[in-house]
Structure 1
């Protein structure tokens, strides 16, 4: 085993005692965006990582799932693990049918490796364009990966920041799979929902029925802080315009948060602000993630 890897000195650890949400999640709700970190040395962090987090393994994730009232998780490969998906796959296997995964892979991935991860519950790959988190990858490489996963029915999760969307649109519209955009493309909420940047994102979703969005991470997007009300108009707009193509998740254990560490119970209480009816809540939390991740 590798040596213990000590977290960065400025790393904020996940909230040790989140509050019980006031909003009672509907039975069968899915936390469709969360991560596991390590624990190292069992699952070492990648040598090429841009940060070293705290340990936040599957046992803590499943404890939080049960405490908040979720039934299932979608575990997204964290960039601190690079393309070593063992921690994420181990968590999916441990959860059985209660978890699905999103992997990070390279162009040399084989059909046999995809099939092995598929059997463990992995249903997609993540393409990260956030420059402070990963080194740049040529789009041709991403396209080749998308072609490899398409026969397995997998989809692509994309993570980018709003300033990069205009340049990415042709690439996104060329992908041959379902696409799920992390955190609404990280809009600048100080500009207002009518700003051309956000309109570009809404237009992209309107033109392409294969593009979904996670209406997640108000704690990252907010300029005002708790209770993150400045993010509500954005997430509510996407949820109400595209009710059959939205997902929600905690983002636990909240990698690279610098301003504060959110209380996951308070994040759950954000949900009824953006999905204001029981029907929208059911679609956001149950119908959509179950259709995308558990339909087979």
Structure 2
């Protein structure tokens, strides 16, 4: 099954890296990514900025140029980023801003509402959140009114599932990624999200699985495909194409 990999990281030491709590990840270049997914039918994806990349854009623009058509960026920006910079990044293929509430390195929570609305109005971007689902109830007054929100890694914890599903009801999208990070039943969580909205789940590898208890395995996609059932094609490709405004795929031969 073709995959638009909705969550991957590129760690290239040729570009600035910022220690996060003293941690700097091992290199994982575009070449490393291509080699790791060579056995998968990856037809596009989203390169996501990590806490250790802060507001650097040079690595991301280089990665997008190397990966080519079908790949977009999810970046971190300060709330006072100039309009011209957002539009420059949009032209280069960036499609979303990330706010990392778990690890830091991004704009803080206090700037979330203003930043999310600005980038949406300027360039049609959505906002992606690395957040523990157990914090979603307290964040609901901020998150529910936003134009488009995406939650990473299934919200991480089973105790946050009711609040995650409530957010999906307002139009949020959930990434079925990072299974080595989560404390929940992946298949059950995926099915519950799809029951609320079949368009609300996207799949990804989370490579190179930095700081996860275990790295991504190809069998993670098998588990997700089984859980998604009739919605598998949408979860693996169609939903992400719509979310990231990717061109339709070429016709199958």
Fold match, TM over 0.5? Answer: yes
Partner of 1:114 in structure 2? 86
1:154 pairs with 118, 125, 142, which one?
125
Partner of 2:138 in structure 1? 167
Secondary structure in 2 matching 1:62: helix
Q: 2:75, 2:112 → 1: CA distance?
A: 13
Question: Which shifted more, 55-64 or 99-108?
Answer: 55-64
Work out whether 1:270 is the aligned partner of 2:223: yes
- TM-score with structure 2 length normalisation? 0.89
- 1:240 offset after TM fit, Å? 3.3
Work out whether 1:204 is the aligned partner of 2:167: yes
Q: 1:86, 1:236 → 2: CA distance?
A: 38
The C-alpha deviation readout for 1:58-97, integer Å capped at 9, x for no partner, is 1111233332111111111111111112212211122221
Structure 1 contact 33–249 (Cα < 8 Å) conserved? yes
Change (3 A) 1:69 1:295: closer
Query: For 1:124-203, what aligned pairs fall within 5 Å after superposition?
Result: 124-130=96-102, 133-134=103-104, 138-150=108-120, 151-175=122-146, 177-188=147-158, 197-203=160-166
Structure 2 contact 18–52 (Cα < 8 Å) conserved? yes
List, as ranges, runs of 4+ consecutive aligned residues in structure 1 with deviation greater than 4 Å: 47-50, 135-138
Partner of 1:290 in structure 2? 241
Partner of 1:221 in structure 2? 182
Change (3 A) 1:220 1:47: closer
The C-alpha deviation readout for 1:216-240, integer Å capped at 9, x for no partner, is 22222257xxxxxx32111222123
- 1:135 offset after TM fit, Å? 6.3
- 1:295 offset after TM fit, Å? 4.5
Secondary structure in 2 matching 1:84: coil
- TM-score with structure 1 length normalisation? 0.77
- 1:137 offset after TM fit, Å? 5.3
Partner of 1:62 in structure 2? 34
Say what the alpha-carbon RMSD is for the aligned residues. 2.1
Compare relative contact order (CA 8 Å, sep 6+) and give the higher one, 1 or 2: 1
- 1:50 offset after TM fit, Å? 4.9
Partner of 1:9 in structure 2? none
- 1:261 offset after TM fit, Å? 3.1
Query: For 1:40-79, what aligned pairs fall within 5 Å after superposition?
Result: 40=13, 42-46=14-18, 50-79=22-51
- 1:156 offset after TM fit, Å? 0.3
Question: What are the ranges of 5 or more consecutive residues in structure 1 without an aligned counterpart?
Answer: 1-24, 192-196, 224-229
Count of equivalent residues: 246
Q: 1:294, 1:59 → 2: CA distance?
A: 25
2:195 pairs with 240, 254, 262, which one?
240
Change (3 A) 1:102 1:138: closer
Structure 2 contact 98–106 (Cα < 8 Å) conserved? no
Change (3 A) 1:50 1:135: farther
- 1:253 offset after TM fit, Å? 0.3
Question: What are the ranges of 5 or more consecutive residues in structure 2 without an aligned counterpart?
Answer: 248-253
Change (3 A) 1:262 1:287: closer
